[in-house]
Structure 1
Amino acid sequence: MAAFAYFDHDADIGVIGQGKTLEEAFAGAAEATFAIMTDLTRVHGEGWVQFDFNESDLELALVTWLNTLLAEARTHGLVFGRFRLRRENSHWHGEAWGEPWREDLERGVEVKGATLTMLRVSRGPDGFEARCVVDV
């Protein structure tokens, strides 16, 4: 699993993904987003989805990634617990593994979508950080 954290925001929740690579940081942001909804350690990787999108702006790519994951989860009735993203220039290929909601999966707060609020993708001495506020 990638590293993730949260930051305070008035009514919603700020998510932070961190990683040695940009793709790991985006995966961390996805983990932070879905961990708001349930305990990811209890999610089995039986179901799988993949998708592609094009975005040259890294910050907009983060929002597109998270919102596409949320849409795929809703469309397929899944909760995701593991994520992988690959990038070639402005083309992105995303994958997520999860399962249908089970009775014994505790439901946290539903995340409606990623927003442009406090959106930032940056590179530091220890790697990348990807952050934004998600609407709950």
Structure 2
Amino acid sequence: MNECVWFKNTKMMSHYFEHDADVGIIGRGSTVEQAFESAAEAVFAIVTNLEAVQPDISVAFEFAEEDLEFALVTWLNLLLGKARELGMVFCRFRIHRQGNLWQAEALGGKWHADLEHGIEVKGATLTMLSVKQIGTIWEARCIVDV
């Protein structure tokens, strides 16, 4: 606990505390795109059992990002935002990069009562953010806020 005197008679105190509101995700693939797709699958597997989701609705979008690590966070947060906006859960993912332009498609279905409720994922963070090639495998990882 830190204390400091503020003005003459007013005391301020600042505190921090730890809490377990984060989950780490890792996606791997033979290309950076496959690693991103696997990372998206890991995120949505926290939300529900993906095998129970019918991929009958397709949502396409694109974004521009040069940096691979920022592209991962952008990709995951756009997916989470689209899912919330449309009341959906995604179960299949495709992404293609051409220069700094990323073209993406997510397939899934409307959220319904029969789907197993896991943990709500609020967003991807910059914590432990990494996109790198390890030998012949690409790995994309970050912490998501739950």
* TM-score (norm: length of structure 1): 0.91
Corresponding residue for residue 140 of structure 2: 130
Q: Partner of 1:15: helix, strand, or coil?
A: strand
2:80 matches 1:70: yes
Question: Match of 2:80, SS?
Answer: helix
Q: Which of 106, 122, 136 does residue 112 from structure 1 map onto?
A: 122
- Unpaired stretches in structure 1, ≥5 consecutive residues: 1-8
1:57 CA drift (Å): 0.3
> Is the counterpart of residue 56 in structure 1 residue 66 in structure 2?
yes
1:83 partner amino acid: F
Q: Quick check: which has more Rg, 1 or 2?
A: 2
2:143, 2:98 → 1: CA distance? Answer: 26
For residues 32-67 of structure 1, give each alpha carbon's deviation from its aligned partner in whole angstroms, at most 9, with x where no partner exists. 000000011111111110101000000000000000
Give the match for residue 36 of structure 1: 46
Q: Describe the SS at the equivalent of 2:47.
A: coil
Structure 1 segments of 4+ aligned residues over 2 angstroms from their partners: none
Residue 32 (structure 2) aligns with? 22
Unaligned runs of 5+ in 2: 1-18
Q: CA RMSD in A?
A: 1.1
Cα distance in structure 1, aligned partners of 2:20 and 2:76? 20
> What is the total number of aligned residue pairs between the two structures?
128
SS for the counterpart of 1:36 is: helix
DSSP 3-state at the match of 1:56: coil
**CA offsets per residue over residues 11-32 of structure 1, 9 Å max, x none?**
3000000000000000000000
- Aligned-pair CA distance for 1:127: 1.2
- Which amino acid in 2 is paired with 1:26? F
Alignment correspondent of 1:121: 131
